[in-house]
Amino acid sequence: MLYWQLPMKELHDLGLVHAGDVESFYPRVRDRADIAVLRDKKTGVIFLNTTEHMDVSHYGALKGGSYWGGTDRRKALELYKEDDERRAAQFGALIKGKDFIDIGCGTGGLLDRIKDSAKSAAGVEPQNYAREELEKLGYPMYRLSTDVPSGSFDVAGLFHVFEHFTEPLKTLREAKDILRPGGAVVLEVPHARDVLLKLEAFRAFTLWSEHLILHTKDSLATYLEAAGFKDVRIEGFQRYPLSNHIGWLVDGSPGGQKRHTAFDTSTPAYAQLLQETDQTDTLIAFAIK
């Protein structure tokens, strides 16, 4: 069966996918009609029925800043400004005074924001344009995690990149090798239990050929522990406000945070409810080497 491919074989070997519990979750991804989405009924892990379409060369070949929604780095950074600023504030204390590497750093917005407080800031990015632009700015850059010297960083970040890996366990072990003893890794990933995944319109919009696995708290912890990390801690986090969810419920489309802003006074209570019921759109994991 197709799901014995990596990373689906890993999911099976780690006890996160069971042959008798796999069900169809959605008949296709948004950008390809020939790829279906599956889910394990017991664990809740969501995954594609094939990964043959994806490898690291896919990202290296992407042109300019278009992958991030802008024609160049400057315009792409504008679109991700909110997330970059939020991560710099949220993880700033962890990174301050440390040698930090952002694995899958994209156009480097987080590097720009923490470079003055970190001891050093570097990135891993297979996309040629982004990597070359960041090299021009003086950031030490690597194409792959395996290019990074062992034991050379204190903190590694993987922000919405882990779900893209065709060999996730191997890549986590590579990230661990990059760290010094006692070093920390922080991961941010889409959540397989996102409440919006109950909506047909949202499934059609968000399920994508590049997102090979959507994790639960248990599956993310299992991967980190299998890679040899300890003191694993995972939290639910809600990136999008209540107005975004109102947009999906009322209009069946994204961008509700621009159309229904009056609802956002209730966002903190709503986000707390989603955290308590394990239905946030994002998971954040911390672990120590």
Task: Name, in order, each residue with C-beta under 8 angstroms of 72's C-beta and a sequence gap of 6 or more.
Answer: 64, 65
- The pLDDT tens digits of the residues spanning 174-206 come to 999 999 999 999 999 999 999 999 999 999 999
Burial letters 222-244, b for 16+ CB under 10 A, else e: bbbeebebeebebebbbbbbbbb
For the stretch 196-254, pLDDT in tens is: 999 999 999 999 999 999 999 999 999 999 999 999 999 999 999 999 999 999 999 99
Q: Which residues are 184's β-sheet partners?
A: 155, 288
What is the pLDDT, as a whole number, of residue 5?
Answer: 62
CB-based contacts of 202-205 (< 8 A; 24+ apart in sequence): 202/248, 203/25, 203/26, 203/37, 204/26, 204/30, 205/30, 205/253, 205/254
Give the pair of three-digit tokens for residue 256. Answer: 């509700």
What pLDDT does residue 11 have? 93
Task: Decide which of 164 and 79 is more confident.
Answer: 164
**pLDDT category of residue 3 using cuts at 50, 70 and 90:** very low
Please give the distance of CA 258 from its chain centroid, rounded to a whole number.
24
Q: What percent of the chain has pLDDT over 90?
A: 84
**Prior bond of 7 cis (ω within 30°):** yes
**Around 176, how many Cα atoms within 13 Å sit in the side-chain half-sphere?**
18
Residue 1 banded pLDDT, cuts 50, 70, 90? very low
d(CA 197, CA 191) in angstroms, rounded, equals 10
**pLDDT tens sequence across 255-281:** 999 999 999 999 999 999 999 999 999
Stretch 69-79: mean pLDDT? 79
pLDDT of residue 64: 65
The band of 2, judged by pLDDT with boundaries at 50, 70 and 90, is very low
Q: Is the CB of residue 16 less than 8 Å from the CB of residue 222? A: yes
66 compared with 24, residue with greater pLDDT: 24
- Residue 187 has a pLDDT of 98
Predicted TM-score (pTM) of this structure: 0.94
Averaged pLDDT, 74-101: 93
> Buried b vs exposed e over 180-195: b needs ≥16 C-beta within 10 Å?
eeebbbbbbbbbbbbb
Tokens 């278009």 — which residue? 66
> What is the pLDDT, as a whole number, of residue 271?
97
pLDDT digits (tens, 9 = 90+) for 37-73: 999 999 999 999 999 888 877 777 777 666 666 677 8
Q: In this structure, what token pair is assigned to residue 208?
A: 């994508």
Residue 7 is predicted with a pLDDT of: 72
- Measured distance CA(185)–CA(157) in Å, rounded: 6
State how far the Cα of 128 lies from the Cα of 143, in Å rounded to an integer.
8
Q: What is the pLDDT of residue 78?
A: 85
